[in-house]
């Protein structure tokens, strides 16, 4: 009788471990470590006791900056890739979609494939978050080879031999599938496609706020060996047999585009499921041409992977007017609740809300309440009256500000900030766009952004970095903003034409620029790393992440945090590694306490997610350090690997 409870506890502990961890070979074979995006490594050679002994093991330079010469690519380029490691080889992509294979033990180049993307074209983003790899099953390895896939910013899906880096001629047309065919010329892909079974699943990245009838956000599945299209799914229903058809109201509503999937897709091969995170329908800030709830935009959609049939959906924002795309990869894991293990999918959002859903049904595991939100005063617009608010975990980030939040490094700057904040509307989260100008809290960079979350199921810890950056959104009647004024304003702030609607978009941020950087005009921190205990539903710790100012002039800036892009990883060594901030550092935190243990100066900024692996009995931590043109961090072309001193 005494043994029974002990046995049950042990069984519960084992069941709670992710399958990937139980068989961790030291590889990093998917963008999120495993197909469910946990970004947890069971390696612990590097741990809280010795992380301060890490040193640079090797550095590899891609030569990427040289490819930008004669173009304006540097202004938009961002080295956001997370390398994969299989069989002692690292595979990764650069912003221009060049693919490298290098020796994981010493960083020596094995091969390079250049798809020769024309960087003179005007891409919305010049980035690639990584490649995908298909491995044949054990019984097929004598007859098939491992395939590396790159989906490009100019709309191609290319299959490469993992051995040689050469295109596989039996895939598509001489190794390439044209993703623009039948969809649109402005199709790009910035995230690594998903692999499940014999399929590769591809979404798309589209420029925002250009017109109401943007390109369709179709998700497609192709055979990994032939490139044959197996199925496609459009998030905006195109026939009235779909129950979501009636949630798009207006004569032109079904001509709406986007609601595309630019974030990373998660897969569950055992249950034949693929989890599609969709974005805002076009355009982001005016929905008068697409009144209604707008299903399946801003939703997590579970499709049957083999057929593309919808199994369930959960919409996180109704009738989005805030650019609240689901930007983070959904996390597939198991939690213990109500005396049983529950297979769940965790959805992190720009709003700072985290939804925990049953993986098979999409129903919330913890209560979600529909609450009334502010109504729009814009002529032609109708906000959806309620939005879903999860009861658990608590909302992250800034949800509302007023003039009392005004902040500056001196009295004059604080007075300026107070006056500026008081100029705009802010009624809390979901304040709609206005002619006066509305403060969006959180703004379109989050909350939780594309850097996403990582999860240590052995501790029940969900770790994520967030931004605290309100956006200022103003709508201007089209008749009141002539072309010469549009061109003039574009020198100062972001302008979206929103063609096909009555309004032009103006987007700005609560930023104060200085000679040596910039600060926010509201009280810090402006970027944080946060750990949530899913067993208790409470934040276990939260700490400022990075800095944006010269610490010799502003020593207190170490507590102010930084705008950040890129995610964190967590390891069995009780470590959370994250770069992402604007100050050119990779940092190691104690994952259980949030204590900053070590920080490592990089040769360039790292708006990317790190990874870790084991080769020749040595653990490495690797980060892409190449900076980000749009947020003006230090740019470069480095892959940097760290290991313990010999």
Higher pLDDT, 24 or 369: 369
- The mean pLDDT value for 352-367 works out to 97
Task: Give SS3 for 21.
Answer: helix
What global pTM score does this model have?
0.95
433-482 pLDDT, tens per residue?
999 999 999 999 999 999 999 999 999 999 999 999 999 999 999 999 98
Mean of pLDDT over the chain: 93
pLDDT at 500: 95
The pLDDT-based confidence of 25 (bands split at 50, 70, 90) is: confident
pLDDT beyond 70 at 15: no
231-283 pLDDT, tens per residue?
999 999 989 999 999 999 999 999 999 999 999 999 999 999 999 999 999 99
| Rounded (10°) CA dihedral 562, 568, 570, 576 | -20
The pLDDT-based confidence of 121 (bands split at 50, 70, 90) is: very high
309-344 pLDDT, tens per residue?
999 999 999 999 999 999 999 999 999 888 889 999
pLDDT at 490: 85
561-620 pLDDT, tens per residue?
999 999 999 999 999 999 999 999 999 999 999 999 999 999 999 999 999 999 999 999
Quote the percentage of the chain above a pLDDT of 90. Answer: 88
pLDDT at 143: 61
163-213 pLDDT, tens per residue?
999 999 999 999 999 999 999 999 999 999 999 999 999 999 998 888 999
Question: CB burial class (10 A; 0-12, 13-18, 19+) of residue 357?
Answer: buried
Set out the domains of the chain in order of their start, with CATH numbers.
Answer: 3-644 (2.140.10.10)
Active site residue 323: yes
Beta strand 568-571 pairing with 40-41: parallel
- The mean pLDDT value for 353-365 works out to 98
pLDDT at 178: 98
Query: Of the listed 24, 154, 323, 583, which one is catalytic?
Result: 323
Contact 201, 265 (CB under 8 A): yes
Contacts of 355 (CB under 8 A, 6+ apart): 300, 314, 316, 346, 347, 349, 364, 368, 388, 390
| Rounded (10°) CA dihedral 370, 375, 376, 379 | 110
Shortest CA distance to 190 belongs to which of 246, 287, 261, 103?
261
397-431 pLDDT, tens per residue?
999 999 999 999 999 999 999 999 999 999 999 99
Contact 237, 217 (CB under 8 A): no
């Amino acid at each position: 009788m005494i043994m029974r409870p002990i046995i049950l506890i042990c069984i519960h502990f084992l069941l709670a471990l992710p399958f990937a961890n139980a068989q961790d070979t030291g590889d990093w074979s998917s963008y999120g470590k495993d197909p469910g995006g946990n970004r947890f490594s069971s390696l612990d050679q590097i741990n809280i006791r010795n992380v301060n002994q890490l040193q640079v093991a090797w550095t590899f330079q891609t030569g990427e900056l040289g490819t930008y010469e004669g173009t304006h690519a540097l202004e938009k380029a961002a080295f956001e890739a997370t390398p994969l490691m299989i069989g002692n080889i690292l595979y990764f992509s650069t912003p221009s979609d060049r693919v490298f294979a290098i020796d994981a033990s010493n960083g020596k180049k094995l091969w390079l494939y250049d798809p020769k993307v024309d960087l003179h074209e005007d891409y919305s983003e010049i980035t690639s978050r990584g490649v995908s790899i298909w491995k044949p099953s054990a019984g097929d390895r004598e007859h098939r080879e491992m395939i590396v896939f790159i989906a490009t910013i100019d709309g191609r899906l290319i299959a490469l031999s993992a051995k040689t880096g050469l295109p596989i001629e039996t895939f598509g047309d001489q190794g390439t599938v044209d993703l623009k065919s039948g969809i649109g010329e402005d199709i790009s892909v910035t995230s690594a496609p998903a692999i499940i079974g014999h399929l590769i699943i591809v979404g798309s990245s589209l420029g925002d706020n250009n017109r109401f009838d943007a390109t369709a956000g179709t998700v497609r599945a192709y055979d990994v060996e032939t490139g044959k299209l197996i199925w496609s799914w459009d998030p905006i229903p195109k026939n009235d047999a779909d129950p979501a058809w009636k949630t798009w109201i207006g004569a032109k509503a079904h001509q709406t585009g986007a609601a595309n999937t630019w974030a990373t897709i998660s897969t569950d091969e055992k249950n034949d499921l693929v989890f599609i995170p969709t974005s805002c329908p076009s355009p982001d800030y005016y929905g008068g041409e697409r009144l209604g709830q707008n299903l399946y935009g801003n939703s997590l959609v579970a499709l049957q992977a083999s057929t593309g049939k919808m199994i369930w959906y959960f919409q996180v924002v109704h009738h989005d007017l805030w650019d609240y795309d689901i930007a983070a990869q959904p996390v597939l894991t198991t939690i213990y609740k109500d005396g049983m293990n529950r297979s769940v999918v965790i959805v992190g959002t720009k709003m700072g809300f985290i939804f925990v859903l049953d993986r098979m049904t999409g129903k919330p595991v913890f209560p979600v309440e529909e609450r009334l939100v502010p109504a729009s005063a814009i002529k032609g617009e109708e906000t959806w009256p309620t939005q879903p608010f999860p009861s658990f975990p608590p909302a992250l980030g800034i949800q509302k500000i007023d003039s009392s939040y005004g902040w500056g490094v001196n009295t004059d700057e604080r007075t300026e900030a107070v006056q500026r904040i008081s100029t705009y509307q802010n009624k809390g989260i979901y304040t709609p766009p206005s002619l006066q100008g509305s403060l969006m809290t959180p703004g379109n960079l989050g909350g939780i952004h594309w850097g996403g979350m990582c999860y240590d199921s052995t501790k029940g810890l969900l770790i994520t970095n967030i931004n605290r950056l309100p956006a200022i959104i103003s709508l201007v009647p089209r008749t009141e903003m002539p072309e010469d004024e549009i061109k003039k304003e574009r020198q100062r702030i972001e302008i979206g034409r929103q063609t096909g609607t009555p309004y032009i978009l103006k987007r700005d941020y609560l930023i104060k620029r200085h000679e040596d950087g910039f600060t926010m005009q509201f009280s810090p921190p402006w970027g944080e790393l946060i750990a949530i205990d899913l067993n208790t539903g409470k934040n276990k710790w939260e700490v400022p992440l990075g800095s944006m100012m010269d610490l010799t002039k502003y020593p207190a800036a170490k507590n102010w945090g930084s705008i950040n892009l890129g995610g964190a990883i967590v390891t069995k060594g009780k470590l959370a590694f994250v770069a992402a901030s604007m100050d050119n550092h990779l940092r190691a935190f104690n994952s259980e306490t949030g204590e900053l243990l070590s920080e490592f100066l990089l040769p360039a900024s790292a708006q990317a997610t790190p990874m870790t692996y084991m080769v020749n009995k040595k653990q490495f931590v690797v980060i892409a350090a190449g900076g980000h043109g749009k947020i003006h961090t230090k740019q470069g072309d480095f892959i940097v690997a760290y290991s313990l001193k010999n």
